[in-house]
Amino acid sequence: MKHYSAERKAAVLQKMLPPTSLSVAELAKQEGISDVTLYHWRKQAMASGAMSAVTKKTTEGWSAESKLAAVVETALLSEVELSEYCREKG
Residues 50-78 pLDDT 10s = 777 654 455 566 788 888 888 899 999 89
What letters, b where the CB count within 10 A reaches 16 and e where it falls short, cover 24-58? beebbeebebeeebbeebbeebeeeeebeeeeeee
Euclidean distance between CA atoms 54 and 27, whole angstroms? 17
Euclidean distance between CA atoms 63 and 70, whole angstroms? 11
Residues 19-52 pLDDT 10s = 788 899 999 999 999 999 999 999 998 888 877 7
Peptide bond into 19 cis (omega under 30): yes
Euclidean distance between CA atoms 37 and 31, whole angstroms? 11
- Full-model pTM: 0.57
